[in-house]
Amino acid sequence: MMLMRLMVAYTLFEYDFDFAPGEDGTAIVRDSVNNIVIKPGKLYLCFKRRSG
State the distance between the two ends of the chain, measured CA to CA, in whole angstroms. 30
pLDDT score recorded for residue 38: 83
pLDDT score recorded for residue 36: 85
Is the full-model pTM beyond 0.85?
A: no
The tens digit of pLDDT for each residue in 1-52 reads 899 999 999 999 999 999 999 999 898 888 888 888 888 889 999 999 998 6
Contact between 43 and 28 under an 8 Å Cβ cutoff? The reply is yes
Domain count along the chain = 1
Range of 14's domain?
2-49
pLDDT score recorded for residue 40: 87
pLDDT score recorded for residue 35: 80
pLDDT score recorded for residue 48: 95
